[in-house]
Structure 1
Amino acid sequence: MVKSFQGERLLEPKTPDQPILVSDHMSTNLTTFHPDDTIDHVIQVLTHHRISGAPVVDDANNLVGMISEGDCLKEIIRGKYNNTPRMSGTVKDYMTKEVITLDRDISIFDAANRFLTLKIRRFPVMKEGRLVGQISVSDIVRAIPLLKETTW
């Protein structure tokens, strides 16, 4: 009979003692646009803030769409072919109206899976039907090195 002199081993429980939820890594100080904003204004704001897209909200601050650099390109091309010097299109003409959102309480791993599956670069984050933030692929990528392997 062999006896162990190491004593009883206790396994460390895997407790999520670190931030792994979307709410822990989302941006909350959002740049937003109104459906009546011009594409020219959107381009100026996106380039000034060095972002590639943002939520669109109505007068009651309800999420009604998303606008991105790609949407702005559509107006740029239209202006080129119509030989218009200024971009006169509005956000409501080019925004994505059927917006897929994420709940703030899902894990960043579930969010990462949705980014890959849906091929979307950013999601508005909702709580009880209200816009509370936005999470992007970059936010997820920046979060991963901060996680400890014991909670995976």
Structure 2
Amino acid sequence: MGETLLVKEMMTAPRMVLAPHTTVREAARLFAEQEATAAPVVDDTGALLGIVTEIDLLRDRFEADPRAWARPVDASPPAPPESVTDVMTREVVTIAENNDVADLVDLMVRRRLREVPVLRAGRVVGMLSRGDLLRMHYRTDAEVLADLRAALAEGAPYVEQCSAQVRDGFVHLDCENISAQQRRLVTSIARTVPGVSRVIVDNT
């Protein structure tokens, strides 16, 4: 079985949070500087109003070049949008921090989402992107093993008879004389470590 993680264990802090009065030009500058792909728009209380993506900031920013067209182009195109509220998506797909990451992945696949705001009581506390999820699966075995040992030391300090190996995200725990309850515990703990794809526990 794959890892079991909560959204709050994977989310990152938003690279930026935009105010409704932020101009499209200023938002574009911030996106370029922060290498962001999306940013939430919030009001003075921190409540989510919408979300802006890179493509939103490009909307109506380029006029047609007459050299590329055989027919005349509109000499007076409409004025481009000025503030982020003019281009943001108002019906935002969000997720709560205590939801299962597996549910989020399913949601992102079905809705073709690149990044999702994480909410607590209606306020943005984090963001989770496709890149965040992919990076979890490209962790080295050494990183996974170190986190696994730390997680077992914290969550099951009295279970000292287990040695651990990790290869390509596959965890093998060799434990001596542990009870069925302890076996379930160490298995559950191991599955919460980012980068773990499968857990096998041998009880010798």
Q: What range is the shorter-chain TM-score in?
A: 0.7 to 0.9
For residues 114 and 81 of structure 2, the distance between their equivalents in structure 1, rounded to whole angstroms, comes to: 26
Q: Any conservation in 2 of the 1:40–1:88 contact (CA below 8 Å)?
A: no
Alignment RMSD: 2.5
Cα displacement string for residues 88-123 of structure 1 (whole angstroms, at most 9, x for unaligned residues): 611010000111100111222111111100011111
Equivalences, count: 133
Residue of structure 2 aligned with 1:59, choices 30, 44, 57: 44
CA contact (8 A) 1:40 1:87 kept: no
Q: Does structure 1 residue 99 correspond to structure 2 residue 84?
A: no
Amino acid at match of 2:6: L
- CA deviations 1:53-86 (Å, max 9, x no partner) are 1100111111100001110111413xx25579x9
| Higher Cα Rg, which structure | 2
Q: Which has the higher strand share?
A: 2
Q: Which runs of 4+ in 1 moved over 4 A?
A: 81-84
CA distance in 2, matches of 1:44, 1:38: 10
Instruction: Write the distance in 2 (CA, Å) between the matches of 1:126 and 1:60.
Output: 14
Q: Which residue of 2 aligns with 1:31?
A: 16
- AA aligned to 2:97 is R
Could you tell me how far apart the structure 2 residues matched to 1:48 and 1:87 are?
A: 22
Aligned to 2:120: 127
1:27–1:135: 8 Å Cα contact kept in structure 2?
yes
User: AA paired with 2:124?
Assistant: L
Q: Given residue 67 of structure 1, which amino acid in structure 2 is its aligned partner?
A: V
- Equivalent residue, structure 2, for 1:147: 196
- Verify: 1:114 aligned to 2:163, yes or no: no
**Runs of 5+ unmatched residues, structure 1:** 1-13
Contact 1:123 1:136 in 2 (8 A): yes
Which structure is richer in relative contact order (CA contacts within 8 A, separation 6 or more)? 1
Pairing 1:13-32 to 2, within 5 Å after superposition:
20-32=5-17
Identify unmatched segments of 5+ residues in structure 2.
Answer: 65-75, 139-194
Deviation at 1:147, TM superposition (A): 2.0
